[in-house]
Amino acid sequence: MAAERLPRSFEKLIETSELPVFVDFWADWCAPCHMITPAVKQLSQEFKGKLQVVKVNVDKQPHIAAKYGIKSIPTLILFHKGKLLWRHSGVLPYEALKSEIEKFVT
């Protein structure tokens, strides 16, 4: 998974990536965020080369969280070429997460 990115790099990534970009908005203190981490890692591995996975720590990048209206975490957003394709707040089991992502990733 990608490391934390500077805001400009984040914006450029979600606007120009040839691959869909899956963003996990999270925080260190968030227990549900830690619960979903294994599913996000598995998604990153299973869709390698078809999907780019990025984690955004809302405490370290509050301006990015504010821009995308993140009110609760974890919030998961799928972008492609700057367009929001899918969004979910809360924990999802891996199979449900995979099923949602497969609708957009070929």
* pLDDT over 50 (residue 3): no
**Tens-place pLDDT, residues 53-87:** 999 999 999 999 999 999 999 999 999 999 999 99
Average pLDDT score over the chain:
91
Going from the N-terminus, what domains does the chain have, and what CATH number goes with each?
A: 7-102 (3.40.30.10)
Cβ(102)–Cβ(51) below 8 Å? no
- Over range 89-105, report the average pLDDT: 95
User: Is 57 noted as a catalytic residue in this protein?
Assistant: no
- Over range 20-31, report the average pLDDT: 97
- The residue annotated as part of the active site, out of 2, 27, 30, 85, is 30
Per DSSP, the three-state class of 19 is: coil
- The residue annotated as part of the active site, out of 21, 33, 58, 78, is 33
Taking the CA atoms of 29, 31, 34 and 36 in sequence, report the sign of the dihedral they define. Answer: negative
pTM here? 0.90
User: Is 2 noted as a catalytic residue in this protein?
Assistant: no
Q: Please report, rounded to a whole number, the percentage of residues in the chain having pLDDT higher than 90.
A: 88
Cβ(23)–Cβ(14) below 8 Å? yes
**Tens-place pLDDT, residues 40-49:** 999 999 999 9
